[in-house]
Structure 1
Amino acid sequence: MQYARFTVAYWCVLFAVLMPYACAILAKRGGAGKSRRDGGYDNADPRGWLARQDGWKARANGAQANSFEALPFFIGAVIIAHQLGAPQAMLDVLAVLFIALRIIYIVMYVAGLPTTRSAIWALAFLANVAIFFIGWR
């Protein structure tokens, strides 16, 4: 019986799934431990509390939303590439590139560098398109 391998690209999917949660933790950082009256994190209304944030906390929340938005295409592209028998080494490299670019994207988003952020977003999107088509023959 032959068993399927858990590839580097699959590990990248797991990492991509965890990235929005890391952004959420970052967005809520500093609000924990304070009372709601003092602007502390409000677990009774987390979305409302996040909507009232500004600066880097608001940008971290935006990075969280965008990270969730990027997930379906990345997950689908990796699965499709595996199903089509894409060269595993190239698929793994592209998946790691996508993750690296998304990390840089998050850093640029939180840092408030919109032009660089958008350029990095475009590169990550192109890496994802490449993953999608890598198994096409």
Structure 2
Amino acid sequence: MNTAYWCVLISIVMPYILGLLARFPGFTLEGNLRPRITAESLTGYQQRAYWAHLNALEAIPSFASAIIIANLLSVPQDTINSLALIFIGFRIAHALAYIANLGTLRTLMWAGGFVCIIALFVAAT
């Protein structure tokens, strides 16, 4: 399995790590029975971690699609791997900026990841 596919796996796992961060401390069995209600009651960094979780989930389809299409259309593997690693770096920085409540940095990191996805599609043309 190439590096880019590992990056897809990382992008799939990352939202769940952020989701766990949003839930702890303060996880209760009662809260687990009503996860959506519990999520609405989060505040501070936990709320922002939950929002980062949701945003990370939204990024998976476009990133995975770009990786698959780039591989199918024989984009050089080094190009795909480099863009995939850069994307993951941007997504990690995005999550950290989200949790730290650094809105401008968060937006720039999101944009960087988005540019990586677009670059993969452009490279495949």
TM-score by length of 1: 0.88
Alignment partner, residue 10 of structure 1: 5
Structure 1 residue 115 corresponds to structure 2 residue 104: yes
Alignment partner, residue 30 of structure 1: 25
What is the DSSP-based 3-state SS (H/G/I as helix, E as strand, rest coil) of the residue aligned with 1:112? coil
Alignment partner, residue 87 of structure 1: 76
What is the DSSP-based 3-state SS (H/G/I as helix, E as strand, rest coil) of the residue aligned with 1:128? helix
Mapped to 2, the partners of 1:35 and 1:26 lie a distance apart of: 16
Give the superposed CA RMSD.
1.1
Structure 1 residue 135: Cα displacement:
2.1
Alignment partner, residue 20 of structure 1: 15
Alignment partner, residue 39 of structure 1: none
- Which of the residues 19, 40, 49 maps onto 1:51? 40
Residue ranges of structure 2 left out of the alignment (5+ in a row): none
What is the DSSP-based 3-state SS (H/G/I as helix, E as strand, rest coil) of the residue aligned with 1:30? coil
The total of aligned residue pairs comes to 125
TM-score by length of 2: 0.96
Mapped to 1, the partners of 2:29 and 2:11 lie a distance apart of: 32
What is the DSSP-based 3-state SS (H/G/I as helix, E as strand, rest coil) of the residue aligned with 1:31? coil
Structure 1 segments (4+ residues) deviating >6 Å: none
